[in-house]
Structure 1
Amino acid sequence: MYKLTTILFLIVSGILCYTTYSYKDQHDLVQEERNVLKIEISNLEEDKKYLNSKVKGLEEVLKSLGREVEILEQKFSGEQSLYRVNDRLTQRNSNASNNIIETKIDGTFNGWNGESIFKMKNGSVWQQASYAYQYHYAYNPDVTIYLKDGKNYMKVEGVNEALHVKRIK
């Protein structure tokens, strides 16, 4: 009976020790996890502060770019108005009775492809205003730009069709 009591005592003591040890280990693990989480939260807060400072910097850059865009838009709209006035004056001065401008394309001409832009020897720049495709190679070909039904058309030497264009400079 003494042996049985001793064995039972040892078993119960071992269970109690193990249970106590397990609770202590669990408590230590929880504390360790809390400490790790506190460090991670601290790191995240630092990251948040850093990113907020970057966002503020980018917001300032966007504001300055917005101001620059406004200035460019004002300048562009002003230039477009000047081009329109210049178009009217050029049309009046070129040939008042027929509204004709005669010039040459400055450099190589390869026809048009839907969004073509044409720089002229007189300094004006014209853009294709309707979709069409035409291939024709020429160097400094003669060009006649005329007004018909309120629209400008460009006739290039050696090309049978005239092209609807608008002046951009």
Structure 2
Amino acid sequence: MTIVQEGRLKGVFTGFKDQNTVFEFANGRKWRQKSYRYMYRYAYRPEAKVIEESGRYMLHVEGMNEAIEVRRA
């Protein structure tokens, strides 16, 4: 398990949606959701981190109970 990216997401976060959902960190790096998974949560600039787990990149967002698989956008 390795932390690949951590910091705050840019702007408003409204949860996980589908493969078109892009999460942008404050430093400009972007990650795209890899599969459909809908979970709503509103937050402004939440803390987040991308962790590499067994060859997969998982996005963990403050306040969300589950992580979502992502890929670099």
What amino acid is aligned across from residue 119 of structure 1 in structure 2?
A: E
Asked if 1:164 corresponds to 2:69, the answer is yes
Separation in 2 of the partners of 1:117 and 1:144?
14
Separation in 2 of the partners of 1:105 and 1:118?
7
Aligned to 1:102: 6
What is the aligned-residue identity percentage?
38
Aligned to 2:35: 130
Q: Deviations over 1:34-83 (max 9, x none)?
A: xxxxxxxxxxxxxxxxxxxxxxxxxxxxxxxxxxxxxxxxxxxxxxxxxx
Q: Quick check: which one's strand share is greater?
A: 2
Q: Quick check: which one's helix share is greater?
A: 1
Q: Deviations over 1:78-133 (max 9, x none)?
A: xxxxxxxxxxxxxxxxxxxx421211110000001112111111210010012211
| Number of equivalenced pairs | 71
Q: TM-score, normalised by structure 2?
A: 0.91
C-alpha RMSD over aligned residues:
0.9
Structure having the higher Rg: 1
Q: TM-score, normalised by structure 1?
A: 0.41
What amino acid is aligned across from residue 50 of structure 2 in structure 1?
A: I
